[in-house]
Amino acid sequence: MDKTMFYFWVVVIAVISFFTGEIATFMMLFLILITLREMHQTLLSFYNDWKRKYM
């Protein structure tokens, strides 16, 4: 489900940027989405390790 939502938001941003003519904005928002996704995966990994260690 995580990848599905990621690709959904990429398509939404691409459509909006296509109609507004803001390709640079699309690239910046795409990079932000990638960064947030990686941060989320890292936090989940830390949480799962912590949960396994202390529970």
pLDDT tens digits, one per residue of 25-47:
888 888 888 899 899 999 999 99
In a domain, 54, yes or no: no
What pLDDT sits at residue 23?
Answer: 84
Question: If you count them, how many residues does the chain have?
Answer: 55
In a domain, 39, yes or no: yes
Confidence of residue 5 (pLDDT cuts 50, 70, 90): confident
Could you tell me the pTM of the whole model?
Answer: 0.65
* Average pLDDT score over residue span 3-31: 85
- Domain limits at 26? 2-49
Give how many domains the chain has, as a whole number: 1
In a domain, 55, yes or no: no
Task: Using DSSP, state whether 22 is helix, strand or coil.
Answer: coil
CA-based R_g, the chain, Å: 15
What pLDDT sits at residue 1?
Answer: 52
In a domain, 13, yes or no: yes
What pLDDT sits at residue 43?
Answer: 96
- Tokens representing 10? 């990429």
User: If you count DSSP H runs as helices and E runs as strands, how many of each does the chain have, helices first?
Assistant: 2, 0
Rounded Cα distance, 38 and 31, in Å: 11
